[in-house]
Amino acid sequence: MEKTYKTSGQNATFSYPIWETAEIEVTFLELAEQWRRETGMMSLITKMSMHPAYQRIIGMGQAVVPLILRELEQEPDHWFWALQAITGANPVQSEQRGRLKQMAEAWIQWGRENGYRWQAGKV
């Protein structure tokens, strides 16, 4: 049976299915786990960011930003390329470059100042 989705813009000349937030979260967590498992030995951001799972996360767009920020809050990881690609922002200061915890804190503050909301363990 065909799955029923909410769709965007009924009166527009095109429309697309809108994912439920729970569906976005499950997909994000699966892709994030795959990315971590398959790129753990890599030292180059360019390589780990080109992984198909990471690219799919970027492709999910603005909806995953609070999920990524929640991940950064719980345990910083290399989500900065994705955040920069999705939002166009780069709140990391020169003196913070490469310092994972400080980079994560800069992005968490940026997220709060720019309207993103999340709770630990729940978005």
Partner 1 sequence: MATDGKLEKYKEDEFPHLAVTGYRITSRATRAYNCFAWAAGEDDRWWNPLEPNSPYYWPDGVPAELTIVAFIQAYQTLGYEPCESSDFELGFERIAIYATPDGEPTHAARQLPNGKWTSKLGRWEDIEHELDGLTSEMYGSVKQIFKRSI
* Interaction site with partner 1 (CB under 8 A): 36-37, 39-48, 75-78, 80, 84, 90, 92, 96-101, 103
Which residue, 19 or 102, has its beta carbon nearer to partner 1?
102
Which residue, 6 or 97, has its beta carbon nearer to partner 1?
97
Angular region, 121: left φ>0, alpha ψ -120 to 50, beta rest: left
- CA quadruple 4, 60, 108, 104: dihedral positive or negative? positive
Give the H/E segment covering residue 18: strand 17-18
Which residue, 70 or 78, has its beta carbon nearer to partner 1?
78
- Nearest distance, CB of residue 100 and partner 1, angstroms: 5
